Amino acid sequence: MYSLKRAVEEQASRGYVERVEKVLNPELEPTKYMKKADRAGSTVVFRVSSSEIECVSGVVNTRRKLYELLKAGSDEEAYTKLSSSLDRKSANSRELKFTEQFEVFSNSLTSLPAIKFYSIDGGRYITSSIVIARTPDLDSFNASVHRLMVLDDRSMAIRLVPRHLYRIYELNKKAGRDTEVAIVIGAHPLVELASSMSPPYGVFELEMVEHLGGEPLEIVYTPMYGIPVPAYASIVIEGRITRSLAREGPFVDIFVLPDRVREQPVVVVDRMYVSRNREYFHVILPGGGDHLILMGFPREAAIWESVRRVVPRVRKVRLTRGGGMWLHAVISISKEVEGEGKTAIMAAFAAHPSLKHVVVVDEDIDPDDLEEVEWAIATRLQASRGLVVIRNARGSTLDPSSDDGLTDKVGIDATAPLARRDMFRRPEE
């Protein structure tokens, strides 16, 4: 059963869950409780004064929680599940009746527990929303996670980046149509993870969930637009991404820095539904563990898959927290021939185009220990031999030092030369 509520109950049985008894102001006050829980690796349940719906945050703010959900005992097992799910489509989804799972939510958007996280934010935000739309050119569906800024009772601004939903929106716009969508809030974390992945255009992310979780996903079809959505979610919104634009932002994003204000499409709400099961409303803390893992872990798996295709033995891959699990990677390999360090660097950049800096180290260096990584750079790198610099490449617009995503990239080959490997090993005690 892919229910966020059920997942939180299982975490509570393991001692992961904290509850805030005080009803919080949706502007700024929840942030300090979510930050405290995030530092402790806890899941936190709370309620805000604008809504009767309970919120939860920190559901996958640690690697341990994610691996328990994936039933994975190692990095390799978790990466393999994600990588192999890209090629597998499920035909075994369990279809339930929409009206048995949801009832009409007659209140307005302002009655939802949207949060203003920081004083600089442009408004109250929904940060875990999965937007599902039909692909007009392939007769399939696409699911992806987008932030939504509440504008008024019936409309929101959606942040669109040039990926699959943007393509769907542009195709519909050229045809003079709005883009009909179902917006899902409070889905099971594996549904959220699948929706954060980047399979080829036309592959429906919800069809990957069964492979990740080991059982068929329960779905229902929305009454107005016939869009498949998870049966167990807190809120489902049927609406349209219109051709109208509104100012979206500022929004404090993954680096806990304000993303700039942009003109973004307006979503108009046609109908809202609330879970009869009273599911939790998932709140993702910007720059918190949920945000980093849901956004970054699929890219970490992609880097692992890409590097292991060209380097026989990859020991560990880490997108670092200091790099927002987005811009910085450290890769440990068992080098067999000279040049494999640079090969790994190029494979990593190809797998994750937003990557800005990557460090490759030998198998005796643990990428989780950044002091060891720095030691390897200090003792094994000569810049004239080990640096790879790529100028004016497409990177990430989340990098504030970039020119709207145009950036310089650096690869660091901090592996020891094979001919003198023993000179670079620390003696055993």
Domains of the chain: 4-290 (2.30.110.10), 309-424 (3.40.1670.10)
d(CA 146, CA 253): 12
The pLDDT value given to residue 397: 87
pLDDT exceeds cutoff 80 at 11: yes
Over range 266-280, report the average pLDDT. 97
User: What is the pLDDT of the chain when averaged over all its residues?
Assistant: 95
Query: Among 77-81, 240-244, 266-270, 423-427, where is mean pLDDT lowest?
Result: 423-427
Q: Give the pLDDT band (50/70/90) at residue 422.
A: confident
Residue 31 confidence (pLDDT) above 90: yes
The C-alpha angle with vertex 159 and arms to 176 and 206, in degrees rounded to 5, equals: 85
Omega cis (within 30) before 250: yes
Whole-prediction pTM value? 0.94
Residue pair 259/125 in contact by the 8 Å Cβ criterion? no
Pairing between β-strand 179-185 and β-strand 130-135 as defined by DSSP bridges: antiparallel
pLDDT at 198: 86
Q: Which are the contacts of 237, defined by CB distance < 8 A and separation ≥ 6? A: 182, 183, 185, 269, 271, 272, 273
Tokens 């939860």 belong to which residue? 56
Q: HSE (CB half, 13 Å, CA atoms) of 95?
A: 7
Say what the pLDDT of residue 404 is: 87
3-state helix, strand, coil in the chain (%, to 5): 30, 30, 40
pLDDT at 421 over 90: no
- The residues, ordered by sequence, that sit 6+ positions from 279 with a Cβ below 8 Å of its Cβ are 3, 4, 5, 186, 232, 233, 234
Q: What pLDDT score was predicted for residue 86? A: 83
Task: Give the long-range contacts of residues 142-148, CB within 8 A, separation 24 or more.
Answer: 142/168, 142/201, 142/204, 142/205, 143/194, 143/195, 143/204, 143/205, 143/206, 144/195, 144/196, 144/205, 145/192, 145/195, 145/196, 145/294, 145/295, 147/251, 148/114, 148/183, 148/267
pLDDT at 29: 98
Residue labelled with tokens 């918190």: 288
Task: Give me the mean pLDDT over the 251-260 stretch.
Answer: 94
Three-state SS for 165? helix
Those residues whose C-beta lies under 8 Å from the C-beta of residue 87, and which sit 6 or more positions away, are none
Active site residues: 253
Mean pLDDT of 70-99: 87
CB-based contact 237:269 (threshold 8 Å): yes
